[in-house]
Amino acid sequence: MKIQIINGPNLNLLGMREPDIYGNQSFLDYFETLQKEFPEIELHYFQSNVEGEIINQIHESGFDYDGIILNAGGYTHTSVAIRDAIKSVVTPVVEVHISNVHAREEFRHQSMISAVCMGVIAGFGLNSYRLAIEAIKTANKTT
């Protein structure tokens, strides 16, 4: 099984950025934890602050991976182009957020991508990614 994790803008600053919301751990450190927890899964990680690069990565992963975990960051609320990229591929996508976006500013309550994703996981800190892996594993067992 192969899963691509894609993180969007500002998520390269995890561990330094707003630790009261996002915690103190970098994503690269957490990614190592995920690799140890799921040795049977080929996990790949990509991060970009550039919308087009995120779209390109969705295209590259979207036909031969078993799942994509996408934290589109601020693009979640604005990007029709990322929504269209998700709709264009066959690989299921799980939308992930570290914080509970519904407990934050009102503009974060709307997602442009939720309707074209397999599901949404939000508010469980970095553990949201682990939950997304479990969801993809379960979905692949039933198909």
Residue in 30, 75, 97, 129 annotated catalytic? 97
Among residues 45, 3, 16, which one has the least CA distance to residue 133?
3
Shortest CA distance to 60 belongs to which of 117, 2, 130? Answer: 2
Distance, CA of 103 to CA of 31 (rounded, Å)? 26
Options 22, 30, 75, 129, the catalytic residue: 22
Query: 22 an active-site residue?
Result: yes
Residues with catalytic roles = 22, 97
